[in-house]
Every structure is written in C-alpha cells, then in structure tokens.
Structure 1
Amino acid sequence: MLVSPALGTERKEKPLVIVEQGSLAAGGTVQKTPGKYTNNAPTSQGQSLHGDHLYAFYQVPEKPRRLPIVMLHGAYQSGRSWETTPDGREGFQTLFLRRHFTTYIVDQPRRGRAGNSTVAATIDPAPNDQLLFDQFRLGAWPDFFNGVQFDRDPEALDQFFRSVTPNTGPYDASVVSSAMTALFERTGPAILFTHSQGGEPGWLTAIHSTNVRAIIAFEPGSGFVFPIGEVPTDMPSAAGTLKAVEVPPNDFARLTRLPIVIYYGDNIPTEPSAERGKDNWRVRLAMAKLWVAAINRHGGDAQLVHLPEIGIRGNTHFMMSDLNNGAIADHVSRFLAEKHLD
C-alpha cells in the first residue's frame, strides 16, 4: 500500500509504468532588437527574446492507446489542474495514464512554466481567495455547499488556493490557440481536454488543426464561437455580461467534423440569482446549450452533459479533481469508446 506525499493518505492503486516522459515548448514567437550585440557591454541591441510558447509535459504509459490526450487548463491555473488533486488523490493525468492514454499536460503561453511573455504586464498581489471559492462553486464563503464534492480538510483548501497562478502577460486566446496548434503538429492526431477559460482557445485550435479528433470541455466559461449572423444576444448576470464570439462560417463548420462533449457540474441556478458565484455559471450553461444546438444544427456532433441531471451531484467547477473524479473519468471514457476514440 502506497502513501500519498500530499496529505499522507493511503492509496491502493497498482504501480503505474511509464515507458517514456519528457517536456517540450511549442509555438511562440521570437522578437529581435536591431543593432549589434556586444559581449562585454550588453544592452538590448542585437539580442532576441523567445516567448509566447506553451510548455507541455508528456508521459507515455505501457501499451499506449492510439490517440494521446492533451489537457489545457483554465484561468488562474496551470497544468497542475490535471495533476494530483488538492486532497492528494490521483487527478486526470494519472487516471487516464492508467487507462493507457499518453498524456500531454499544458501550461499555456504567459502562464506557469511558459511565463516568457513578449508583452509586458504588471502582476499585482491581489487577495482573491474568497472570490475564487465562490466563483469556482465550492460554496458561498465561508461555507461549503451541502454535498459538495470537495474535501473539507483545511489542507486541501490550502492546496487548492496555492494552485492559483497569475498571467505574466495579457491573456490572448489567439496566442494560446496558435501555440496549441503547434503542439498538435507535434503530437499528431489527439484528443483535446479543456477547462474553463481554455474553452475558447480549444475551439480555435480545432478550427486550425485537423489533428484535434475530439474535444472534451469541462465547464467552458467564455469564448463560445458562433458563425456570423447567428451570435446570441448578450447574457447579463450578477457577475457581469457574457458575450459570444463571432467567427466566419467556414471556421465554425470545422467544429462540426469532430465529436464534442461539454460537462457542467452542480449548484448552477436556472433562474437569475443575486448570488454572484452561482449566477456567473447560469449564463455560461445557458450559452453552452445554445452553442451545442448551433453545432448540431450545422450537422455536427456535440452534446452537453449537466451532471445533476444524470444523477452525479455536488461537482464544483473543478470536476476533474473533485472527490468523484473517477466517476467523471468513467463517463468520459464511455464517450470516447462510443466515438471509437479509445
């Protein structure tokens, strides 16, 4: 029996065999300053800056399946979202390695281990733990929701807050999708997992790369793309107004060539609410339903799974690391099998 170093919890899993692992950068740009570089009197002249690339850590299990999985995180996060859960259990990275999928864990450009931005930004030490507790639907601070699938051990919450990391440059979905497209050129055909803010660059990556063979999107929060002339009206909420993104019809049509499933968790109201953390997700779920309908109206293959409606309850915005993440992984695995992608 093994012991998790995160919280000292016992684990019963069998040893995981990895036959290859490594990391790489993909995409990005190079900026060059005119002039001549002088070794012993260096200035910016004649020098270059490599930036706006992503970082990807990959692992290959024994007997790997034919399609790897690329996992893209959301706002305030890095690739850690997919790794060990805040309470020390196996996250999606390991759960899917055990299912014999090669995994690529991404830190998007200007975040985490891909922090070299070509555009300046100021990083302010803003206190926002309580806002994120509400925003990510763990509860209404300081109280957890009843039945929430999050470990209430204070150490788990501390680990969760310490997963938050800032942008080192302005967030730009096109910069992220450009780097992701470059990564898919390296991986070849693969499955794309996205979370939250990763939704929009995920759609854009699939538009630009035929190597994206399926998208599994966990609570996409913004950047829903619609063809010109079919953009829904803006959706106001207690947390602000959600706007869709307009793209050329030919670009949108590329999203109809691959299977897509979107997951949303619990504690999302169907009617307007004064509770900011909840109402924020009311409009995002509503927009996602319109988006799925648009994809299917154009001949695509998209579905939305609202977990409480199928009897899976208590999930937060981070369902891939919730206490029942194994059940979520099982549902995803069934989807991939149904689409002959396993």
Structure 2
Amino acid sequence: MITLRKTGSFFVGGRRVSVAGQTPYQVTLSSTETREYDPNGTYWIEAAYVQYFLQAAPRYEVPLVLMHGGGLTGAMWEDTPDGRPGWLQLLLEAGVSVYVVDNIERGRAGFCALDGVWPDRPLSRSDEEAAQIYRFDYAGHRFPSEAMPGLSAQTVPRWPSTRGLQQQALIEVVKRIGPCALLGFSQGGGLVCGAAGIASEARDLVRACVALEPHGVPASFEGDLAGKPALMVFGDFIEQSAHWRALADHADASIAAWNAAGGQAERLDLPALGIRGNTHMMMMDTNSEQVFKVVLDWLGPRIASAG
C-alpha cells in the first residue's frame, strides 16, 4: 500500500525575455475564433517542471530525484510502454519519496517558441535511430519490441543548445528540494553527475548519485567529494557497439576523476551479475523490476533510513 502525505508540483528557474518589433498576424484558434496574434510582449521561459510524491512515512531520510534522458520526459519513469509498473510506481511501493523532473523544453516544462532566442533547430528521434542507439538491434535484447509505438509516442523534440540551461535547472531543483539523492538516465545521468560533483551550491545537498548509462559525464571534479557515493550502471551489448564502448570509457574516466576528488564511485555492469539482455532503456525492459532492485539495493544503504 502507498500512503502519501502530499503530492503536487512546482516550476523552478527560468528567465524573463521581451519581444519587440515583430509584426502581428492572423491565427485561427478554433472553429469559432480567428484573431490577430501579437508576438510582442514579455514572456517567462526556461523553467523546469517538478512533480513530487511525498511519503507519509518515508523509508529513507532523503527523497530521490528522477532525471529523464534526452528527447524524453518524466513520463519515462511511469508505466512501461507495454503497461507494466514503471520505476516511479516501484519506488513509491518501496516507501521512497520521489521528485520527477521535466527539464527545460521537455514535457510540462517551459520551452521557448520565440524566434531567435535559442540558436538552433529542435531535433526529433526516429524509430530507426532509437533502435540503433538504444541497442534494440541485438539478438536477445529485453525491450518489448511490440510496444515500440508507446516509446515513440513519448519521445519529444530536443534542442542541442540547451544542455547548459538544463544543468543549471537541475541545480536549481536540488537547491529548492534540499538534501536528496539523484538518479539520472542517459543525458540525465550526465546532468546528475554534474550537479552532484561540480556545482558547489548543490554538491553538499546531494547524498548519492546514480547514473544509468550516462553521457556528458564530467571529465574532472574540482571540489572535495568527501566520500560521496556514485554509481554508473550499464546493460548488455556494450562491447558490440563502438558508440557504447566510447561512452563506457568516458564513464570509467569520470569514475576515476570522482574518486580522485575524494568520492566513492563505481561502475556496475548488469551482465557481470548474470543479468543479460538489457538495452539502454533498462527501466522499460521486460526485466525492469530486476534492474530496479539492483539499483535500490545499492542506493538504500547509502541514504540513511528515516526510521
């Protein structure tokens, strides 16, 4: 049974911009309304959206913040594309208080549709690109291929130029929440490592950091990480892919840098535990609950029990 004391959401970060000198034009908003739209004015952009689920009797002293991957939103932690419970549900059943982030230009967060404010065009991920990057093209993979439309439906555009904004937004999220643990996936894995290991205003608030097959991980850490635990998790078929071998090498270098700064980071390869077939989307694979248990078993002892 899940017993929550509070659920809700908030926006954090962002900035105000003003538009002037643009020509108004006619727009049709519905079958009964056509009007002149004036793009000039003041707007608030680049805020992150955070939804929270706070336990009545939390299992751990600090909550867990979930950070999605590139081209995805916080929805990736909810039900799997084939309808099984996602990691959000499993965390709540385990008594963990959870914050789920939709970072800048994703999901319910603030993005910018104003011409000339962001310098580049948005990118969308095709099913073909997803199958290659997510390692769905290897025999024995555990992603439920029949549910690919469900994954494709939750894929959203991304702007390459916003990574720095997203890093700062996550730092602002941590500052708003206070002491917490971070769990990030893919691009989000790089962001949580950056927030926990580099940003001085967030470093002391982050009790532990988990990155699932991250990219964009920092190559060095200047501050004192003072025993701070971190885990980087990789699935199967890494050695068969030059792309993934390179990302794993970057992760190894980041782990070494984390430890050189006084932290306690390690890499966990699921096949080394006898868990085979996991793709990049390990939280959606058919054995997602098994992978979840591995991650929670590592994380639990490192965030003190509230009891």
> How high is the TM-score relative to the length of structure 2?
0.84
The correspondence for 1:197, drawn from 162, 165, 187, is 187
Q: Secondary structure at the match of 2:219?
A: strand
CA distance in 2, matches of 1:91, 1:67: 21
Q: Secondary structure at the match of 1:138?
A: coil
2:250: which partner in 1?
A: 287
CA distance in 1, matches of 2:179, 2:280: 28
For structure 2, the residue ranges without an aligned partner over 5 or more in a row are 22-35
2:230: which partner in 1?
A: 260
1:176-325 to 2 correspondence within 5 Å? Answer: 176-206=166-196, 207-208=198-199, 209=202, 210-221=204-215, 223-227=216-220, 251-255=221-225, 257-269=227-239, 278-325=241-288
Q: Secondary structure at the match of 1:58?
A: strand
CA distance in 2, matches of 1:329, 1:100: 14
1:341–1:284 CA distance, 2 compared to 1 (3 A):
farther
Please state how far the C-alpha of 1:295 moved relative to its aligned partner.
1.9
Contact 1:60/1:102 (8 A) holds in 2: yes
Identity %: 30
- Is the aligned partner of 1:60 residue 2:54? yes
1:58–1:340 CA distance, 2 compared to 1 (3 A):
closer
1:128–1:185 CA distance, 2 compared to 1 (3 A):
same
> How high is the TM-score relative to the length of structure 1?
0.76
1:109–1:133 CA distance, 2 compared to 1 (3 A):
same
Please state how far the C-alpha of 1:255 moved relative to its aligned partner.
4.4
1:138: which partner in 2?
A: 136
Q: Secondary structure at the match of 1:267?
A: coil
Query: How far does the alpha carbon of each residue in 1:317-340 deviate from its partner, in whole angstroms, 9 at most, with x for none?
Result: 011222222222212222123324
1:92-131 to 2 correspondence within 5 Å? Answer: 92-117=87-112, 119-120=117-118, 121-123=120-122, 128-131=126-129
Please state how far the C-alpha of 1:254 moved relative to its aligned partner.
4.3
Cα RMSD between the aligned structures? 2.3
Give the ranges of 4+ consecutive aligned residues of structure 1 lying more than 6 Å apart after TM superposition. none
- Is the aligned partner of 1:28 residue 2:18? no
1:102–1:86 CA distance, 2 compared to 1 (3 A):
same
1:42–1:16 CA distance, 2 compared to 1 (3 A):
same
Please state how far the C-alpha of 1:34 moved relative to its aligned partner.
7.4
CA distance in 1, matches of 2:73, 2:225: 25
Query: How far does the alpha carbon of each residue in 1:37-58 deviate from its partner, in whole angstroms, 9 at most, with x for none?
Result: xxxx98555x321111111111
Q: Which amino acid aligns with 2:286?
A: L
1:71-90 to 2 correspondence within 5 Å? Answer: 71-90=66-85
Q: Which amino acid aligns with 1:314?
A: G
Query: How far does the alpha carbon of each residue in 1:161-190 deviate from its partner, in whole angstroms, 9 at most, with x for none?
Result: 1121102x4443221121111111221101
